[in-house]
Amino acid sequence: MNRYISLITLIFLILCCSDEMPVHKWRVLPVDIRYDLYDVWGSSTDNIWAIGEWGAIYRFNINNEGQITVTETTSPTNLSLRGISFFKPNRGLSVGDKGTILEYKGVSWQQLPSPTAENLHSVDFYKDDFALAVGENRTILEYDGENWNIIQLDNTDIPIVNLNSISVFTSDFAIAVGNQGIILEFNGIEWKNVETGITNDIDFLDVKVTDEKTAYVCGRDGTLIVRNGDEWSQIESNTTADINALSFYSSQEGWAVCEDGSIIEINGLSTRLLLPITQVTLNGVFSNSKFDAWAVGNMGTVERYY
């Protein structure tokens, strides 16, 4: 009898307290954005930036009550922006079509001279005097804090293909990925072509280096692979949709977003596929906390995990 009463009491307490327990899940934010969004980055958990077509730049600020303010920032270009990265809250870079490079220094975005007219797809801002950007036709640019310079790869065995993503762990270790299964590794001196032995020339769309031994790469048809030291292995993603972007809040924990609007939770070599809460293609994702993440996509879609 006492055991029966205790069970009833436990159920009652769970039901009474359940409304007060926080439930973390992905939600579509009711924002009024009229452009496709291609990438998102947080310079801090309450200072999020998103960029997209026609030079669109949006800033999301979260106050102490959790209310979000969306500001469309003045952009110095009407060309589509494809990648964004911040080194610290008041230092950011964005790149896009026809070699567009923008810099943010805490007040406004300014256009920088670019050494290329190739479309740029991705940028990673590591420190004040070091950033890398990649783009079409094997384009790699390096930033020294003042100028952008083209990395010459003519005398290498690296094929001329589009590079879609760059991830910098240190100034001596970075990885770039692109079409036809290309993976390039930078050791601080030179770029080398990496053979994984596990892909069939599939287009890679994003890469994130999470520590000195680990990197995750995603691509078309649900491709997801991981680097452990010098070895690469394939991870079951549970989807055949293109996986467009990755973000990690620890060396092995993070998120991936897909063309069909689905989201993948990654934990080491395991994944969990979440059904889409919208049927819109998601293009970018950012997370630096287990309990907070952002995703952006076509038609001004913004989703947040909280």
Global confidence as pTM: 0.92
Third-level CATH fold of 26-305: Methylamine Dehydrogenase; Chain H (2.130.10)
Rounded mean pLDDT for each run of 10 residues along the chain, 306 residues in total = 47 46 87 97 86 98 86 98 96 98 97 98 97 99 96 90 98 98 96 89 97 98 96 97 98 98 98 96 96 97 96
Q: What residue ranges do the domains of the chain occupy?
A: 26-305
3-state secondary structure of 23: coil
Which pLDDT score, from 0 to 100, does residue 269 have?
Answer: 98
Within 10 angstroms of residue 73's Cβ, the number of other Cβ atoms is: 13
Instruction: Give DSSP secondary structure letters for 128-170.
Output: TTEEEEEETTTEEEEE-SS-EEEPP-TTSS-----EEEEEEEE
Which pLDDT score, from 0 to 100, does residue 22 have?
Answer: 63
Yes or no: say if 26 and 18 are a contact pair by the CB < 8 Å rule. Answer: no
